[in-house]
Amino acid sequence: MRTRVGFLGAGRIARALAGGLLRSEGDSWELVASTRTRESGEGFGKAVPQARLYSEERNCDLVRESDIVFLCVKPQEVPGVLRQIQPATAGKWIVSVAAGVSLAALVAEAAPSARVIRAMPNLPVLIGRGVIPYCLGPGWDAGDREGAKKLLRRFGEAVEIDEKLFPLATVLAGCGPAYFCAFLAPLLRFAAESGLPGSEARRMLLSTFSGTAELLRQTDLDPNEAVQESRTPGGITHAALTVLEQREWPETLRRALDAALRRAKTLEEA
């Protein structure tokens, strides 16, 4: 089956979602994306050469020509785009990934027969290994609910959540890849400065982290216990963790997460 998918906005997350769809098995996809400026479209065109590109004036055409539409513009651009596409939304599936934009706001602007999904993908959706918390607007029957889940599973783990948990899901799953990479980058710098070639250090560290994640997944081992397993008193791990604790690493991380959650809630109320 050939499914027509439109992306309103062709930036970072639209590229990741389009890549994830194209890598997933089964259906084939006909993709179209729109942008405000030509430069943004060129980036998408390089990453997804099979997609057609429209300018923002053709947003309504894009929606009419699509079965499923991903709304991938910045949150402050959502109201204007929704007003523009409203006449074309009848019967369409509209998936908004815009942070802080509520289901109520989406439903209010879409045609009554449109079916609306609010979702929060993270970057590994590009390889089908993302996490995508989501909630559904009104009007979904049981068959379509299953279809929505099947669609989102193409990007990785699709988790239906209560809408009030969106800020927290964003802080954990949406921002998670950035926390991990912000932690990895100094480790790689340290490895390079200490004499391990970049590609070897990268392979070694990525295998270490993915192996540890898999160990926790398969054994239900508690992370605190896992730390104690590798922390021999007076040993090497102990030396590193002692410095992190002296610098109040857990408290610092907690302050960072509190700041992220406050920001996510502010966006929700805007």
Ligand X SMILES: NC(=O)c1ccc[n+]([C@@H]2O[C@H](COP(=O)([O-])OP(=O)(O)OC[C@H]3O[C@@H](n4cnc5c(N)ncnc54)[C@H](OP(=O)(O)O)[C@@H]3O)[C@@H](O)[C@H]2O)c1
Binding mask 77-106 for ligand X (x = CB under 6 A): x---x---------------xxx-------
CA distance 15 to 123: 10
Look up residue 107 and give its two tokens: 């439903």
CA distance 242 to 246: 6
Q: Which of 53, 59, 88, 126 binds ligand X (CB under 6 A)?
A: 59
CB-based contact 123:104 (threshold 8 Å): no
CA distance 204 to 206: 6
- Is 13 a residue that touches ligand X (CB under 6 A)? yes
Q: How many residues bind ligand X (CB under 6 A)?
A: 27
CA distance 253 to 259: 10
- Is 68 a residue that touches ligand X (CB under 6 A)? no
Q: Which of 23, 74, 189, 238 binds ligand X (CB under 6 A)?
A: 74
- Is 10 a residue that touches ligand X (CB under 6 A)? yes
Q: Which is nearer to ligand X, 135 or 201 (CB)?
A: 135
**What DSSP character marks residue 239?**
H
Q: Which stretch binds ligand X (CB under 6 A): 116-124, 129-137, 197-205, 209-217?
A: 116-124
Give the nearest distance from C-beta 253 to ligand X in angstroms. 20
Q: Which is nearer to ligand X, 96 or 148 (CB)?
A: 96
Give the nearest distance from C-beta 175 to ligand X in angstroms. 8
- Is 264 a residue that touches ligand X (CB under 6 A)? no
Residues with Cβ within 8 Å of 153's Cβ and at least 6 positions away in sequence, in order, are none
Q: Which stretch binds ligand X (CB under 6 A): 70-78, 151-159, 186-194, 236-244?
A: 70-78
Number of Cβ within 10 Å of residue 260's Cβ equals: 19
Q: Which of 5, 73, 152, 169 binds ligand X (CB under 6 A)?
A: 73
Degrees to nearest 5, angle at CA 28 with 27 and 31: 130
Residue given tokens 């991903």 in the structure block: 70
Q: Which helix (H) or strand (E) holds 262?
A: helix 249-269
Binding site for ligand X (CB under 6 A): 8-14, 34-37, 40, 56, 59, 72-75, 77, 81, 97-99, 120-121, 123, 174
